[in-house]
Structures are given as C-alpha cells and as structure tokens.
Structure 1
C-alpha cells in the first residue's frame, strides 16, 4: 500500500502571469527572493486536476490518516492523495481554496510563520505575496497547517539554507514557535526541499516526526518518515501528466 503527495505553491489566471521571469516574493520577514515560474499553476489547469480527482473518486488525506498509516497500520483508501501547499501565498486563498471547498477536499498548508503579515494586503498578480494570519485562518474548514519554520526559510547563494546554518538550539526554538501556531507541529517540509543527512538527524532531535521533501515518488511503509516524497505539480502540467503522477504506485 502506498500514497502520493502533491505539492503546489502559487496560482494565476493565464492572462495575468508572465511565465518568462521569476516572481518576487513579498513576506513580513526581512527577506527577498523570487519564486521560479515552474512552481506556479494556471487556474484552469488546477481546476481540471481537482475535477479529475473528484470524478475519479479520490480521497484527500489528512495528516492524521498518514500518521495512523505508519503508527497503527491503518489502511488508506486505494485512491487517495495528500494535497500540500507551501508558504501560504495569497493566491492559494484566492484561487485554490474555493475550488477545494466546493469539492469537499482536505489540504495541508506548510506555513512559514515569520512570513505571515498582520494586515491583509491587496492581491497583486505581479508579486508573490504571502497571506495575513487572518486570511490563513479563514481557510480552516479546508486546510490544516503544518511546520515550515518561523524564520529559517531563507537560502544562500551557495545552495544552503538558514535552517542548516542555525544551531541545534536555534532550530529547536524556531520550530517550537511555529509549532505553537500551526495545527500539526511535528510535521515539517524542508525549506526549498534542501536537506542533508545531518538535517534529518537534527529534525528528529527537535521533535519533528514526519518531514516532506521535494523528491518525487510514492510513499510506502518503508519510506523514511523524515524523507517522505512529494511530486511537484509544475506550470502547464497537462491532465495526462497529472494522471501519471497520482496513479503511480497505487497498486503497491
């Protein structure tokens, strides 16, 4: 038995988006970066993907169901998928949330607590703006939130991250602060998908029990709990490509 995990970030209507250049992020923390366009999804493609899941009778998993699968030997529905959305960008609230709610789907948002603003900003398709806490909390009927650090979601030009540079005590404190805000504090997603074996060890020492990578593939009972797989749903992902992702490994 196995399950698939899908990863999304940002959404745009096709006419509102320049796919030739990265999108500058706007976050409450003093940090500047740009989101690669490959991590976006067009609204019409996302609708088609969710419609496919609904039509084919897919079950959208909760994190508790994942825990029960590993800890209690519970079965998962044959057609099941975990929907994850990283960083809490405004477009998730504007575009993805209404569709998920209409279909009765469940999803997970990996939250960088220090990125959330105190006041809601106007939506700007030319920037990747992170939600306010109020916007995020309005989605609680669909989304549960998990840990994506408080202030350690930053990367350096040498390919490492602030999470890796932090001391163990700094990491523990940062994860604890975010954990006090999110619904599921012991479930984590690696910032930018960057990690090494020592990071896995440090997460375990910090009380994280499950961690999601950006490495594609299905998850089985043998998959290490701190190196769970996720498939990125990329820009212009066709419905045939999407089917291939969600159907892979379903008979295992």
Structure 2
C-alpha cells in the first residue's frame, strides 16, 4: 500500500502520468484483458482506495511492474489492478472503440459519483458494461453528448480506453467550495463583533464542522486544490477547503480544537507583520493576533500561508491600500511575507488578498513573487481551469442554517 502511495505521488509531481510510468519502469504499455471482474485502486486525495471495477473480458493498457499489480491511467493519476486478473490479449483481437484521440486535452470538466456508477462501452444503456466507478469520486470528462432521447452521456478515459457514463447515474461537477472564516467567539463573549459578517460563533462553527464530518467530507489543502485546478490530481466528490484570514488568536483558541478533533485540515492566511512575539492574555473585545508559539502549536492542522505583510490596511476612502500601491511595492511586500512565514512553512505558495482587493498589478506581482494561487472574496466555487490568482470563496455566516450551508456547499445538478 505504501508503495502505491509513493508511486502515485511521484507521478503527480512529474506532470505527464503515463509518460512517467514508461520512463520509471522502462517497459512499454501492454494491452491486457481482464479474466474476471477485477477490482481497481487509485490514489484519491492522500489515500489509495478502491475506485471501482473493470468487467471480465475488457481490455486495458497497462504498464507491468515488479509488484503483484500492474498500473494504468486513471483520471489524473494512476490506477492499480491485480496481475492475477489479467491475461495477454488473445490472437489478433483488436480494441474496438478506436481509443479516440488520447492526446486531446480534457474538457476542464468532471463528473461526480454519489453511488456505484456503471461505465458503458457505448453511449447506450443497452451496451456492454466496461465496469463500475465507486461512489464519492471526481473523474475527468473527455466530452459529452446527447442521445436521441435527450439523455446526456459523459465520455471518460480509463486505461487508454474510452467509456461512457449516463447523466442519470452521475452529476457534472460544479466546483469545490473554499470556506472563509476570520474570527470566532463564544456568544456570551461577543459583545463587540456580533453584527460583523467576519465573526462567527463557536457553536455555529462546531455545528458546521460536525455537518461536514457526518457527511464524510474531505478537507483539502491548498496544494491539493492546486492539483484540482491544474488537472493533476484525483480528488473525492465530497471535498471542501477551509480557510481563516488574518491569523487571529481566536483561531488557536476555538477553531483549532474542533478541527483537530475531527481530523480536518485548514489553511491560515496570516498577516506576517502582526504575529506577536509572546501570547497575549485573552481579551474577546479586542482583535488579537496569534504569537509565534501559537502558530507553531496549530501546524498539525493548519497550513500557514500569506495574507501579506504590511498591506492589510485601507486608505482614506476605505479602499484596500493594495489597490493604490505600485508593482514594486507589492512585489516587495509579497516576498517579505513569504520570507517571514517560511519559519512555519517552507512552501508559502498561496496568497489571500487583503479585504479581497486586487487588480492586474497585484496579480502580476503575486505571480512574480512566487505564489502559485491567490484567493479573493468573490462568491463562488473553484473549478478546473479557473484563473489561479482569482479564486472564489464562500462565506457561511453565524446566522446561516445548516440547510443554507448544504445548499451552498453541495454539488448542484446541472441542466
């Protein structure tokens, strides 16, 4: 199992998955036929899991390994299949779907499976089944079409073969939500910030995290989200990114214990100039920032990223000061923030614009400073192919019901 995880991770880093398999093993792709219904595995997020099966008699392009399994292309990663379920293609038997154009770029769209989802050899439910995709997967779509009954079919690639999934069995992916939080207080403490949208209650936050846990959501890092946006990583259908802006002391005090209890990951976008040398005495009527030791304490849950160094201010017109600064001023600040935060994280690659303010100068400076992505306060979800420096986010307010949260986060059926 560990070997599979390591192999898949290396493949992700290399870019072209199947080309990497070829160079790693030094063996050509071979077409093999399944002798029986065969379970397949793949890395999804951080885990190697069962991702479905391939029916007996189907042909796959595989790369032989020295282990007890062979490897094949699965989405944006590598699948694994037991060698005992494979045999060489007999005689002159040909692959009958002509493979399609395997070098054609994918469509920047995914399907989402909520249950065991049949894959067919043609866009017709009466055609032979190629296999089954497991529940809770995102899988890239090559193309889609409508049949004579106006039913939509999604074309996918698996093991250098083409298969078809009906829209009656799966949905089209409407993106991954990035949840935005700032400040958390107990209701009885919140005498000053009760009417601010950036402050939520401990009770509401705990209920929201419980909702995610009870529905088996995976919390993603920004690194994994980057893999999703750039079409380089397989991720589960139930996935969300949790972010906290500013680096406030309440994150350590109230958010961290809840997230740790549930085994969740989150990202802290920290204003690097406001980190305190020593922890401050708790004062809920003030906006207090975490100290160096408090930031170190939460690193088993939180990934520390940048919310700039000196740019978290507004001008005399209440506009983000970032909007009036020159390219070189922005570049200097972004680079300084990355250096200051490197003691907590050697890979400070992601930025949150102060107050959601950005312009073309900020985007250019963020890229040139070495950031890979940046988040805004524009409402919406993140999809493959989005501009990585203009990522949308969602706010779940203290007063929002869990039904409201469900509507905002859950994948919505496409027309």
Under TM normalisation by the shorter chain, which class is it? 0.7 to 0.9
Q: Verify the 8 A CA contact 1:39 1:233 in the aligned structure 2.
A: no
Give the aligned partner of residue 44 of structure 1. Answer: 203
**Pairing 1:156–2:315 present:** yes
Q: Does the residue aligned with 1:230 lie in a helix, a strand or coil? A: strand
Q: 1:249 to 1:148 in 2, by over 3 A?
A: farther
CA displacement at 1:89 relative to structure 2: 0.7
Between the aligned partners of 2:290 and 2:336, the Cα distance in structure 1 is 18
Conserved? CA contact 1:61–1:107, under 8 Å: yes
Structure 1 residues 174 and 133, CA gap change in structure 2 (3 angstroms) = same
Distance 1:249 1:209, change over 3 A: farther
Counterpart for residue 56 of structure 1: 215
Structure 1: gaps of 5 or more residues: 24-35
**Which position in structure 2 is the counterpart of 1:99?**
258
Aligned-residue RMSD, C-alpha: 2.0
Tell me: CA distance 1:170–1:198, structure 2 relative to 1, closer, same or farther (3 Å).
closer
State how far apart, in whole Å, the 1-side matches of 2:332 and 2:197 are: 33
Q: Structure 1 residues 244, 78: closer, same or farther in 2, change over 3 A? A: same
- 8 A Cα contact 1:149 1:175, kept in partner: yes
Q: Deviations over 1:69-108 (max 9, x none)?
A: 2335312210000000001111111111000000000000
Is residue 145 of structure 1 aligned with residue 318 of structure 2?
no
- Cα gap change, 1:70/1:250 in structure 2, threshold over 3 Å: closer, same or farther? farther
Residue 199, structure 1, aligned to residue 358, structure 2: no
Higher radius of gyration, 1 or 2: 2
Q: Which runs of 5+ in 2 are unaligned?
A: 1-172
SS at match of 2:330: helix
- Report the number of matched residues: 238
- More helix by proportion, 1 or 2? 1
* TM-score, length basis structure 2: 0.54
- Please state if 1:112 is matched with 2:271: yes
Cα distance in 1 for partners of 2:302, 2:382 equals 21
Q: Does 1:245 align with 2:372?
A: no
Shift of 1:142: 0.2
Structure with more strand by fraction: 2
Q: Cα distance 1:115–1:245, how it changes in 2: closer, same or farther (>3 A)?
A: same
